Chains A and B, each alone.
Chain A
Amino acid sequence: MTTPISFILNGDELFHEVKDHWTLLHLLREEMGLIGTKEGCGNGECGACTVIVDGLAVNACLYLAVDLDGKRLETIEGLAGSDGTLHPIQQSFVDEGGIQCGFCSPGMIMSSKALLDQNPTAGHEDIKHALAGNICRCTGYVQILESVEAARDRLSEQAGGRNE
């Protein structure tokens, strides 16, 4: 009951044999050793496992690995530059105190990235709506919302800079 699949992981094309009942979360953490994506509840409730498939944020704990065939996957491991430079969203979470224990952070950051990729001018309410499925037990959310707003501004400055 294994099926060969091919997909793009953080820009690189990959082939993998997967069992039909593996979740994408299992494939990443247990088979590929990519443990940046976290498992909290395993049932779609907490958002710790959020990854981006073809531009859409999904819960890797409910997504079957076989369904990844032919798709483009982004995980937290793909965000920082090869020299370790943090992605603007990651840097904003560090600067604004959006990270305490850090368990929710990969999911929070991937939800934020999916949002800002689609809507670079997302406002406070848009951010709350997009992050409603990500639970944080530490920060009380205020710093997280501030982090995403700071990231949005940072990204739009960078984009503005490039256009000049």
Chain B
Amino acid sequence: MKAFKYLIPESVEAAISFYQAHSETARYMAGGTDVIVKVKEGWMEPDYLISLKKIQEMAELHKNEATGELSIGALVTHATLEKSLMIRNDYPILYDAVSNIGSLQVRNMGTIGGNLINAVPSADGAIPLIALDGVALLHGPEGERSCKVIDLFIAPYQTILKPGEILKKITIPPQAPLTGSGYTKFGRRAAMELPLIGIGVLLTLDEESETCTKARICLGVAAPTPMRAQGAEAFLVGKKITEAVLIQAGNLAADESRVRDSIRGTAWHRREMIRVHVRRMGLRCLALIKEGR
């Protein structure tokens, strides 16, 4: 592997000043599961790697019980999310996604922030955070700003981050009661495989009438960047959710998707799998809402 100097700042400000001192030749690194592979393969040739791992404030996972807001530090690993009972019970869509990323070894190192900023069309972590209306907090040489998680992505492997900018954390607004959610990573197998298509569904029902008050249908590998099938979402809102309605939503989502043929699968197959899994995840949402009652 190419030689580089490894810098280990302990604050966001220190990391940014390291970056500014070496901007052309420096890269940030969190878990390193993407960066180290790229450096080994010669796709990335940094002279400086700036480790974010010792920045304590970026490693926190906690829910504010008073406001219901969840805060996920960018350095939180997939394994930490997977092992958290709070995540498993209250954010099943996130649990579903992170528990099947790579292998346990990769999940013990890889972080949610690295997953987002790497910005591969198949990033499993992005879909649930978009469905949960996640907001990303960024900190760069020019100060802090925030944006919706979905707006981080502008093209495959490209985010809105400016040079030197760091993703500090993701916040998830409080979830309404009677909300269910689920994610399917569809591929040959879940572990150690990028999904052929990733499907995340979140539904909130209104207590009295059982009609849907909020719907999120988010798709990975269905477009150059993670997308929401907003037509299908709008179709569900205001309806009583039945299997027949979910089948229609799946068809709408499949039509809205911009799937393509690739080495790993055909557009036709991807579209069919969107139909199937939007329905299945919708039914899972209903089952979870029922259980919760």
Contact = CB atoms under 8 A, between A and B. Distances in A.
Interface of A: 1, 3, 19-21, 23, 42-45, 47, 50, 56-59, 62-64, 66-67, 111, 114, 129-130, 132-134
Contact of A44 (B2, B8, B106): B106
A62 B109 contact: yes
A44 B191 CA distance: 13
Interface stretch (B12-20, B29-37, B141-149, B242-250): B29-37
28 contacts: A1-B5, A3-B6, A20-B4, A20-B6, A21-B4, A21-B6, A21-B39, A23-B36, A42-B40, A43-B41, A44-B33, A44-B37, A44-B102, A44-B103, A44-B106, A50-B105, A57-B108, A58-B109, A62-B37, A63-B109, A64-B36, A66-B6, A67-B51, A129-B104, A130-B104, A132-B191, A132-B192, A133-B192
B3 interface: yes
Nearest to A107: B105
Contacts of B103: 44, 47, 59, 132-134
B1 interface: yes
B105 A19 contact: no
Which residue, of B1, B6, B191, has the highest number of chain A Cβ atoms within 10 A? B6
B53 interface: yes
Q: Which of B37, B39, B104, B191 has the most CB of A within 10 A?
A: B104
Interface in B217-239: none
Interface residues of B, number: 28
Contacts of A130: 104
B79 A62 contact: no
Given A44-B105, A58-B105, A111-B104, A20 B5 contact: yes
B37 A132 contact: no
A59 B37 contact: no
Interface in B53-108: 53, 79, 99, 102-106, 108
A143 to B, nearest CB: 20
Given A1-B3, A67-B51, A133-B192, A62 B36 contact: yes
A110 to B, nearest CB: 9
A59 B105 contact: yes
A133 B37 contact: no
Contacts of B39: 21
Contact of A133 (B5, B53, B99, B106): B106
B105 A57 contact: yes
Contacts of A56: 79, 108
B79 A63 contact: no
Interface string B36-52: 11011100000001010
Contact of B104 (A23, A43, A66, A133): A133
Nearest to A59: B105
A43 B37 CA distance: 6
Contacts of B40: 42-43
Nearest to B35: A62
B1 A58 contact: no
A59 B106 contact: yes
Nearest to B190: A132
A39 B79 CA distance: 23
B6 A133 contact: no
A50 B102 CA distance: 14
Contacts of A129: 99, 104, 191
Nearest to B36: A62
A67 B5 CA distance: 13
Interface string B101-137: 0111110110000000000000000000000000000
A47 B109 CA distance: 13
Given A66-B6, A133-B104, 15 more contacts: A19-B3, A20-B4, A20-B49, A43-B40, A44-B33, A44-B103, A58-B105, A58-B108, A59-B106, A62-B37, A63-B109, A67-B51, A133-B103, A133-B105, A134-B103
